[in-house]
Each structure stands twice: as structure tokens, then as C-alpha cells.
Chains A and B, each alone.
Chain A
Amino acid sequence: MQEAFDLLNEYGPKAALIAGGTDVLVKIRNTKKAPPVLISLRGLKDLAYIRKDGGYAIGALTTHRMLELSDLVKAELGALHDAASQVGSVQIRNVATLGGNICNAAPSADTAGPLLVLDASAVIEGPQGRRTVPMVEFFMGTYKTILKQGEILIGFHIPESMATFGSAYWKHSRREAMELPLLGVAASIRLSQGRAVLDGRIALTVAAPTPVRAYKAEEFLKGKPLDPEVLREAGRIAASPDCCSPRDSLRCEAWYRREMIQVFVPRMINLAAERGGNP
């Protein structure tokens, strides 16, 4: 780690960090431009871990494949498991890291929505020491994060309270593999005995310049019973300009993205409820 910081310090803004390389190298190939210096973090093996100690700790260099194969993640962090398992292909997942993907900060990052609905925080190490930033504050803009020059994201922390939530993530795409999502819907939910919503989170990706929480829809859900009417309304609010601003792109039109938000917010809340989050 120290070596990484020394190098970052030495090369300053000329340097970029590379972990798995599946984002960085592709960008270099496609744009034919490369940063003068690439500092590889791949050797930092002890930053690849999935641990439960009270809350959940996931190292920044944990690959998507590790998350996919983890029984713990599958059982207790459903949305994150859904997302990680569907990134690209096995070949990509073997190499692409959670930290790398999040630091790339694409509005389409599959794991971003799940981290948001799981109340995750980013653990950042820098010249000024260590700081923790909630994921809701991590994304500053499209491909922009809160990381300062000289800082390295070293891991994620998910609070213990999330163990009482069930969560799910839907990646809407045209094919079943090798895809970036056209639209991502993540949800986490905690229900009362009578199947009313005690607490819930909804996050949308490819629906705004950054991954976003649909706060208004979450507020609406609080205390309400989980029936089709309620879910439909939650979906409508989530799809509205109050919560998101999907764009027309070459890949998909905005109207369809809004429609899919309305379809999948209810479906993912139901799935999250099925998985857990029931007392």
C-alpha cells in the first residue's frame, strides 16, 4: 500500500490507478489515449476479502467472481450478488474488481445501485489518513467520484442493520450476458409482521448522471402495506422527475427507461421481500 501511495505522490496527476483493468484498458483501446503512468494495484492481494464482523467488509480488490461465488453475499446481500453475478462474463468477473468498477463511476455500474440500497460506505485511504464516505455521497457526476488526488479506495463497509433487510437488483438488458444495463433497479426492504414497510431503499442506475436513490418513492413506501397498488405508485414516483432523469441515448430511449422503472421497482421490492427482510 505504501508503495502505491509513494508512486501516486511521485507522479501526481499524470498517474491513474488500474486494478483489474477491464475498464481502464478498454478505455485506452477505444480512445487510443492513455495516461502517461498506470499504477497497478493488482498485487495488493490483501485488499481482496469478504468478511462479516458485525457489519460486512468487502475489500476494494474483491473480484466480481468472488462476490458471485460467495455464499455469504448470496444469502445476505442479495442485491450485490445479483449485480456482481451479471457483470459481463466469467472472464471479466474473474478480473474486474468491485473497487475498480465503482471508481470508474459509470452511471450504469451494476454494483452501484446495490451498494446504495445496502447503505454502503466507501473506505478511503489517503495522505491525510483514512476517511469513510457514504456511497450516497461518493458519486459526484458521470465518471466522477469524491476521491481526491492521491487517495485510494480500499474497501466498502455495509452496516450490520442490513442483515435484517432483503435486497434485490434487476439489470435490464437485451441479452442475458455480456451487457451493460439499459436500466438498473436495486431495492432493499424490511417489513413488519403485518407485511407493512418498516424501511426500504430504492436505487436507480442509467436513470441520472450518477446512480441515485429514489428518496421520494422510499418515503411513500414507509408504513404502507406491500400490495400491488402501493407498489405501482412507488414505481410511478421512482420513474418521475422527482426521482430521476433518464435520457435518450443511442442504446435506449428515455420513455422506455421510465416504463421499466415502473415495472421493476415493484418486482424488485417483491423479490427483496421474499428473500428476507421479514422478521
Chain B
Amino acid sequence: MSNHLFVGKGIPRTIEADKVTGRAVYIDDLKRPGMLFGKILYSKYAHARIKGVETSKAEKLPGVRAVLTGLNTPSVRVGFLNDQVPLKGEVVRQFRDEVAAVAAISPDIAEEALELIEVEYEELPAVFDPLEAMKEDAPLVHEVDARGRPVRTNMLPLPWRFNAGDVEEARKNSAYTVKDRVQTTWVSQCCMGTSGCVAEFDMNGNLTLYNQTNVPFLDKQRITEYFSKIGLAGKKVRVVNAVVGGSFGTKLDTDIYEFIGILLALKTRRPVKILFTREEEFRTLPPRQPAIFDIEQGCDRTGKLTFRKVDAVLDNGAYTSWGATTPSVMMMPISSLYRVPNVSFEAKCVYTNNIYCQAMRGYGNPQATFAVETSMDRLAEEAGIDPGKFRLMNCNHPGEETPMRLRITSCGLEECIHAVQEKLNWEDKKGKNKGRGVGMASLIHVAGGARVYKSDGHGMMIKVDQNGNVDVLESGTDQGQGSPTVISQMVAEALGFRPEDISLTMGDTGLCLWDAGTHASRHTFMAGNAALEACEKVKRQILEMAAEHMPRVIKRGFKYKKRKDPDFVEPDLDYGLITDPDNLDIKDRIIFPNSDPEHPYFKVEVSQILTNALHVGTGESKVVVGEAFYDPPTEMLDREMKGNLSCTYAFGTTGVEVEVDEETGEVKILDLVAAHDVGKAINPTLVKGQIYGAAYTGVGYALTEEMALRAGRVTNPNFRDYKMLTAKDVVPVEPIIIEPGDEAGPYGAKGIGEPGLVPTAPAIANAVYDAIGVRIKELPITPEKVLAALRERADVC
């Protein structure tokens, strides 16, 4: 294992040199001949009926090539629950509803045209509080469902109900119980590159969508299905990613702007680019799903967890995207973080006239873990047990099956908790309560794929040319996480080549096989396993060619030597060692016999074999190509929401030391230790990068970030008022990489993309409590909330 040349090394991202030299082409930079610019007009009301749309002035503006509204586009529903149309013609249900779209020869003209479109609205009563929206007399956000049947409630017909064991009985037998309500709010993914795409039809009506998606194949499928409903059945779709300026969950759905871009391209018969401004991005891009949790937990006298009961209310906004599916992930920490035998969970999603939500790094896990891990601390306190000890007592271990039927294989949680306690000097710092405190929280997350759809497959094709250059057609996508480097390392290692030999093509449905999506922290795991399989095939082909050609190549070498140096005596060698492909291997581009790796003469550079073996002659010429489609041995969740949906799970613990200024309520992070069980770090530098970035976003989630919606309107749609942290907001992060290995993971690796974020907020909340004895149950933990709580406590005392 430690014999690896590339895996396990922090090799540089040289393959991405275009990004540091200004050469990388993002959607912003992409130009297609004849390209037009699309802009979208949004609703002026949170809830209103559209009485009329007047577009003649806009259409007449010189430079405008198309004006689309809900009236001249197909009323075909899209989305996870088919509850919206791309351009709204009858009712608008949130401020970000798309009412019209313009394509023009310049973005300025398109903007100007938008201002010339007149929309007449009849305002309707709106509801912005999910708890209010659940009431019987609440205004209805939708009057009919996807099939046109009348709807009498704002509740979504979603089946989020989980039960294991007997919570009622367990509660009776618990020595200690705690009950709390905690809340998380909307936060924005804040990708530095804004949303956008370029839609282009060819003369035969086939679409190429230049995009930024995490799910090119699902995107292609959704658009194909949309085509069949708008009279374009049989037309083909190719999704090709540009370089992506960050995703963090924003690109898992097929967004409305994609459909609009496609409709504009269809109308104008020209390529159309849609690119969001920053304000548009903040105002309209679906953010992270907020949640209200009522959580109850109990333990026995010794501190062993007896039950966990969680009821959640999710503000679904006006339409449905992935936000409504976050309960499927919330179930993971709720049922399986620590050993708890009796669990019940119910999540209600309710329509409101607020912005709807999609995925964001962690996908429900950060929200649910905030509830679970702050409740754990409360319970530990009730039971009189140190929170670190409490967690160790209930720690997950390898070989266990959780109430959700997740099968834990590798598990470094215990090591993570210990590492945090040690690094933070937990024993000394805990419980001082003098304005400084420590807190911790752990996580469980999928790390070996995630069978969200029927197929959790991932395909890879590898071909090698006569020079030994390797083309990898990789079905996943790159959002910046470092996949090209990591995949090059794994392919190079498996094949016996070097990372610099490898060219990767990713994110092109026309060239790559198929993948469920670069989500759920699954890319390295899936691509690595596909690579191992594909490389084995490729290597086999090369070694069979080597077995055939190697002796000839060596003997030719001797002849050449003899010509140059007549005194040279050709050694007498056992060529049998290199005529059996089973006895050959490749390392660092050199083919050699396994039985005698140090043989002085049996070392041939791989390109020499390929040059001789590929373009041979009539009937004999070959290519070297191998493909693999890896679909892991996992299950979809059954009707009871149970099933081992991933091959393996990530674990980790974040510990934080904070200092609270009791006069201002400001929380300063003195130290943040993030210990993560990653199985094996294929590239430790990149793994650290994922931990740093995710932890930082987690700190923002905990302390400063919130989308301030007031009556459905985003009132802070810019970087000045949306408080994403700057480089001067120092958070000392100490990453600790725990590597227990994993038998399912490629080289033992598990996912790390999301875990770094998950436990950050509860760790901070727990630390704040340790510092000042005040528990803030609503994120973000702002200075105002802390100060108000301190004052309240002072009043009470």
C-alpha cells in the first residue's frame, strides 16, 4: 500500500494551470458564433394573478430577437414535483417567478427590453411563515396539482416518515430526556461564478447545452423528456460543461433559466447565453433549505442513548426542487449518528410564497446535525456527563448496522473524537464558563456513492495512443474540487503511468458514458472504482502486447548496441520471463517482469511497446481501450426509508474553542479542529482544501450568513449585506486526516466534499454554551442574539 507512486501524495494541480493564467473558459467567457443574450423579467409580487402582459414595445426595440412570456410558450410543467412552468402566465407565487424573457444582440439591449415589458398584476394574499401556511385558513399557494386536480392544503404530498423501534416505550424507560426547538434559515451557496448556460440548436433541431451542471446525464434526460412534451420528441440533447465557477449544490437540478435559454434558442434559431448578475443570483437562485426542528432525545442512567424523536417543518417555498428531498439525508444523522436504538422522524414540507430551495453542500445534513448535536450536548448536561465522553459512549463502530439499515464498515469516529479532545486540550478547557469555551460535534455522511436513483452508476472510458498518452473520458464533473488531479493520480497509479500522461474529458454527455451525478461526495469513490476496473482492462491489453513484442524490442536493442560497439556481447537471457502477460506489470511507464522487477535488461518504456503494437498492418492493427461502469452493491431506501444506500460512510468530528465578548455578543473562534475519517487521502493537500473550504462555509453558516427574506423579498442580494467571510476573518482550522482505509473505496478512499461543513455550526453553538452558559437555538448565532440572551439571563437572575 505504501508503495504507491502517486496515490497518497499531495501532487500539484498542474493539470489545471489554465485557471491561474486566465485561460480557463467559464460560461461567462464562452462565445458561440451569432450568439444572443437572454435576460429574464421577474415578478413584482410575492403572489399575484397575471392579468395581462404587453410586449409590443419590447419586441420593437432594435436588437431584440425574441420576447417570450407564459402566453407564447408551452405550459409544460417541470421540476421534481412538476409544479411549475418555466414562464409563468397565470399566477406568480414568489418574487423570483419568471414572467418574461428576452433575447437580444447585446445584454444591454436585452435589459432595456425588459423594462419595456408591461405586466398587469392582481395581487393575491400571500403567506410567508411555514407554520402559518400549515393552518386551514391559510392562503393557498397552489390551487391545483400537477394533474390539474384541486388542492386544499399547502402541505406537500411527500412521504418523509421514519420509524425504528418504539420511541414511546423508550421514553418511558429513559432516565434523562431533553426537548428543544431549533431553527436554521436560508443561506446562499455563493458560487463566485454566477449561474448561466448557452443553448444552441443545430440545423436538425438537436440541442447542445453548454452548461455548468453537476448532473449532465440527468440534465440531458430531463431536457429530453421536456422535448417530448413540447413537440420535439426525437430531438437529441448534448450537455457540455464549460469550466465551472463553483457549485456547492446549485447545479443538481435543471433550473428554470436552462429551460428559458432553450426556449429562446428555439425561437431565435441562434445560440442564446443566459448569465446571471450577482444580484439576480442572490435574488433568484434557490438557496439552502431552512428547517424548524422539534427534537427530543433520551438516555439511560449510564448515558446510553435510548431514543431520538425529530419532527421537522420545511418551508418549501413556492415550487419544489431538491430542498424538499433534504429529509432523506436528514434521516442519516437522525437515525444513525451515534448508536440510538429507537428513532422516529417526520418532516412536513409546506408551500409558502418564499423562495424555493435546492441542494447545498451537505444537503440537509448540516441542518439536521445542528439539531442532533446541540441536543446531544443538552442531554449530556442533564445526565451529568462530559459531552466528549457522552459521545464516545454512544459512538458508532465498524461492523454495526444502524436503525436506517446503514451498514457501517470502516469507521474512524472514535479516533476523530479523541483527536479533537487532544488537540483542543478538552479536559483543561471545558466548563470554565468565563467567556471561553470548547464544544464539539460529529457527523455521518454517505461516502461510497448514494443510491438516490435506481442507478448509482459511474462510467469511465480509457484509451491509450501509440505514444503512451492516456485519454480518460470521465462521466463526473469538475466544480473545482480537484477531481482532474485526483483521478489522474488514481489512473496513473492503477495503470502504471504518470499523472502528466493523462488528459481528462469530463462533463460531456456526447463523449462520456453515464454518471448519476457529482453529488453526495461520491466523485472520488465512484471514479476511482471505475478507474480500477477500466485500468485493469487497459493494462491487460498493454501487457498482452508487451508479452508479444517485448522480446523483439529488447533483441533489436541488442543488435543496435552491437552495431555501435562490436565488443558488446548479447547476454543470454530467459525470455520466458517476459512472454507471459501474467508475469508482467507496469510502473512509472516501465514494463517489467513481476518475478524479477530489478532485472537489468527486462525494462521497456511502455510507449515503445505501443508504437510497435498498435498500427501494425492489415487486420492486425489495434487500439487500446477499456471501459468500466461501476454500480456499487447498495440499496435504494425502501418505503420505510431504510436501506444501505451507500457502500461506506464518512465520519468526523469538529471541535471548536471560542471566546465570547460578553459586552458585544461577538463570538471569536480561537481554534477549529476538524478530524475526518476519509478512508485514505488520495491527495492530502486537496483533502485539506476540502476540509478548509467546507469548515469556513460552516463557520459562516453558524455565525454570519443569512438570506434576509422579508415578506418573501430577498433584502440583502449582494456581497455587502450577505455576510460571507473574507480573508481577514481569520478562522484557524486544523485538519486532522484519519485514514482507517476502507475495503470498498479505491485505494481505501471515501468521500470528503461535504463532511467538512456538516458539524461546524453545532460545534460552535456547543462551544458558545460552554463559554457563557447561553444556548442560541437559531442560526446564525449573531452578536445580537447572544447579547439579548445574556441580558435575558441577567434579568432572570
Direct A–B contact present (CB less than 8 angstroms): yes
Residues of A within 8 A of B (CB): 172, 174-180, 250-253, 256, 259-260, 263
Judge whether A175 and B726 touch: CB under 8 Å.
yes
Q: Kindly state the separation between the CA atoms of A175 and B729 in the bound complex, as whole angstroms.
A: 6
Chain A residues lying within 8 Å of B716, measured Cβ to Cβ, are 250
Q: Kindly state the separation between the CA atoms of A209 and B784 in the bound complex, as whole angstroms.
A: 23
B726 interface neighbour in A178, A180, A256, A259, Cβ under 8 Å: A178
Q: Kindly state the separation between the CA atoms of A51 and B65 in the bound complex, as whole angstroms.
A: 59
Q: Kindly state the separation between the CA atoms of A260 and B727 in the bound complex, as whole angstroms.
A: 25
CB-nearest residue of chain A to B661: A263
**A-B pairs with beta carbons under 8 Å apart, 12 shown:** A174-B783, A175-B704, A175-B723, A175-B726, A176-B729, A177-B727, A177-B728, A178-B726, A180-B720, A250-B710, A250-B716, A250-B721
Q: Kindly state the separation between the CA atoms of A251 and B726 in the bound complex, as whole angstroms.
A: 18
Known A250-B708, A260-B664; contact A178-B715, beta-carbon cutoff 8 A: no
User: 0/1 per residue, B758-787, Cβ < 8 Å to A?
Assistant: 000000000000000000000000111001
Chain A residues lying within 8 Å of B575, measured Cβ to Cβ, are none
In the complex, whether B568 has a CB less than 8 A from a CB of chain A is no
In the complex, whether B29 has a CB less than 8 A from a CB of chain A is no
In the complex, whether B565 has a CB less than 8 A from a CB of chain A is no
Known A177-B726, A260-B664; contact A251-B784, beta-carbon cutoff 8 A: no
In the complex, whether B5 has a CB less than 8 A from a CB of chain A is no
Q: Kindly state the separation between the CA atoms of A22 and B613 in the bound complex, as whole angstroms.
A: 65
CB-nearest residue of chain A to B115: A32
Chain A residues lying within 8 Å of B784, measured Cβ to Cβ, are 252-253, 256
Range of interface residues on B (Cβ < 8 Å): 20 to 34
Q: Kindly state the separation between the CA atoms of A250 and B729 in the bound complex, as whole angstroms.
A: 22
Judge whether B721 and A263 touch: CB under 8 Å.
no
What is the minimal beta-carbon distance from A195 to any residue of chain B, in angstroms?
A: 23
CB-nearest residue of chain B to A259: B787
Chain A residues lying within 8 Å of B664, measured Cβ to Cβ, are 172, 259-260, 263
CB-nearest residue of chain B to A260: B664
In the complex, whether B453 has a CB less than 8 A from a CB of chain A is no
Chain B residues lying within 8 Å of A259, measured Cβ to Cβ, are 664, 787
In the complex, whether B725 has a CB less than 8 A from a CB of chain A is yes
Q: Kindly state the separation between the CA atoms of A256 and B782 in the bound complex, as whole angstroms.
A: 11
B783 interface neighbour in A175, A178, A179, A256, Cβ under 8 Å: A256
User: 0/1 per residue, B722-738, Cβ < 8 Å to A?
Assistant: 01011111100000000
A175 interface neighbour in B663, B710, B725, B787, Cβ under 8 Å: B725
What is the minimal beta-carbon distance from B793 to any residue of chain A, in angstroms?
A: 15
In the complex, whether B719 has a CB less than 8 A from a CB of chain A is yes
CB-nearest residue of chain A to B715: A250
Judge whether A174 and B715 touch: CB under 8 Å.
no
What is the minimal beta-carbon distance from A185 to any residue of chain B, in angstroms?
A: 12
Q: Kindly state the separation between the CA atoms of A180 and B704 in the bound complex, as whole angstroms.
A: 15
Q: Kindly state the separation between the CA atoms of A180 and B723 in the bound complex, as whole angstroms.
A: 11
What is the minimal beta-carbon distance from A29 to any residue of chain B, in angstroms?
A: 9
Chain A residues lying within 8 Å of B715, measured Cβ to Cβ, are 250
Judge whether B728 and A175 touch: CB under 8 Å.
yes
Chain A residues lying within 8 Å of B710, measured Cβ to Cβ, are 250
Judge whether A263 and B663 touch: CB under 8 Å.
yes
Q: Kindly state the separation between the CA atoms of A174 and B723 in the bound complex, as whole angstroms.
A: 7
Q: Kindly state the separation between the CA atoms of A121 and B719 in the bound complex, as whole angstroms.
A: 34
Chain B residues lying within 8 Å of A172, measured Cβ to Cβ, are 664
Chain A residues lying within 8 Å of B729, measured Cβ to Cβ, are 175-177
Chain B residues lying within 8 Å of A253, measured Cβ to Cβ, are 784
Q: Which parts of B612-668 form the interface with A (CB within 8 Å)?
A: 663-664
Chain A residues lying within 8 Å of B782, measured Cβ to Cβ, are 174
Judge whether A176 and B787 touch: CB under 8 Å.
no
Judge whether A251 and B721 touch: CB under 8 Å.
yes
Known A250-B715, A251-B721; contact A176-B728, beta-carbon cutoff 8 A: yes
Q: Which 10 A-B pairs have the closest CB atoms?
A: A176-B728, A177-B728, A177-B726, A263-B663, A256-B784, A174-B723, A250-B715, A176-B729, A178-B726, A174-B704
Chain B residues lying within 8 Å of A251, measured Cβ to Cβ, are 721
Q: Kindly state the separation between the CA atoms of A250 and B709 in the bound complex, as whole angstroms.
A: 10
